[in-house]
Amino acid sequence: MKRPANALSLAVLTLLFEKPMHPYEMSTTLRHRSKEESIRLNYGSLYAVVESLRKKGLVAARETLREGNRPERTVYELTGEGATAMREWLSEMLRDPTPQFTDFEAALSLMGAIPPDEALVLLKLRLKALRITSNQYDGVRSNLPEGFPALFLVEGDYSEAVRRAEIAFVEKLAEDIEHERLGGMEVWRRIHELRAAGHSGEQATAKIAEEFGHLLAFDT
């Protein structure tokens, strides 16, 4: 069975692997474990995911409960097919995860469209935000009880490792721009000088090709 694009489907299956639950309990359990930081979660989509899994035969309604004046809640359990799919999908995601392209990666690839000095300011703001988030995670970790299972922090530790790598990258990139060490800086600055002087994009591109033709090729 093809793995769903939404990791919430796998999260539901793993929760029901622990025990039968109704959707509200699934939602509160994921939030209690801070899984919303790694899995996109909202209550409406959770119900839709559970219903989709039910139609595929991966989960089944076990019973319907009512507590006081609260609405009825359907408790779901994992089917045999669901347990097999869970193992297959989780194994595939650990072995061969789908590449996730972030907004930051896209922005870096297009950064030349704004002036270097403006990009530098924005990168420093990004760096500040990354450091704040990193410090917050350090605070969370330092307040955990002694002996807290590392298993439940794995995705947070992974995010922090990626974040620290990004901090190091952005620090160097910002320094290279600030000290004119980034290759292509002269082209980057020149094209924005031309645009600021009133040249059209086409005119500026032609001028850059004329001035820096030995460095760049603009042919498609």
Average pLDDT over the chain reads 90
64-95 burial: b if 16+ Cβ within 10 Å, else e: eeeeeeeeeeebbebbeebeebbeebbeeeee
At residue 149, the 3 state secondary structure works out as coil
Among 93-102, 158-167, 183-192, 209-218, the least confident range: 209-218
**Average pLDDT score over residue span 121-148:** 95
- Whole-prediction pTM value? 0.80
